[in-house]
Amino acid sequence: MAYAKAADGASSPAPVRPVIYQAQPERSYSWLKWLVLLALAYGAWAGFQAVSKRQVGTSASDLQALAATVKPGDVVMYSTTECTYCAQAKGWLAQYGFAFTECNMSVSSQCEREFRDYGGNGTPYLVMRRNGPKGHKVHHMKNGFDTDEFVALLSEQ
């Protein structure tokens, strides 16, 4: 019954109203662009400050003064003859006068045994021993030679 009345057409259709669009003022996001630009500038400045602070105290004379505190047995580098990264690390250590003991696994089976006992899987592999006011510390640089990490560990004492 309800269907019959709706389909009947007896009732008039709803009047059609014209739709009038009102032009909206265009929104300006120029303030947002400035905000993003300001955020990027601040991020660049903060990154520069972090890098600058990290490298404070690492001038050649500071590194040589730090090298004077290192005894030959404090740093042991496990290396191989064909390792180019080992050669770079040895060059950097020698340039600033750091005492270290090289244990070349290509030459010595004892070095290779020690390296395996430490669980090493890549060269250069450094073992650093330091005696300081906080006691005896041993640190293993397992992921290659990183000058920033090396200097930070020696500076801790």
Q: Is 100 exposed, middle or buried (0-12, 13-18, 19+ CB in 10 A)?
A: buried
Percent of the chain exceeding pLDDT 90 equals: 31
pLDDT at residue 153 is higher than 90: no
136 to 31, 37, 70, 128, 143: CA distances (angstroms) = 57, 49, 14, 10, 22
The domain 60-156 is placed in CATH, from the list 3.40.50.2300, 3.90.850.10, 1.10.3720.10, 3.40.30.10, at: 3.40.30.10
pLDDT in tens, 75-96: 999 999 999 999 999 999 999 9
Q: Is the pTM of this model over 0.75?
A: no
- Look at the block and give the residue holding tokens 């244990």: 103
List all residues 6 or more positions away from 132 whose beta carbon is below 8 Å from its beta carbon: 156, 157
Which residues of 81-124 form beta strands (DSSP E)?
101-104
Place of tokens 């990027």: 40
The ranges assigned to domains in the chain are 60-156
Q: What are 10-46's pLDDT values in tens digits?
A: 556 667 777 676 666 676 677 778 888 888 888 887 7
Residues 6+ apart with CB under 8 A from 147: 92
Helix, strand or coil for residue 114?
helix
Question: Residues of 57-70 as b/e, b for ≥16 C-beta within 10 angstroms?
Answer: eeeeeebeebbeeb
pLDDT at position 93, please?
92
Residue 55: both structure tokens together? 């490298």
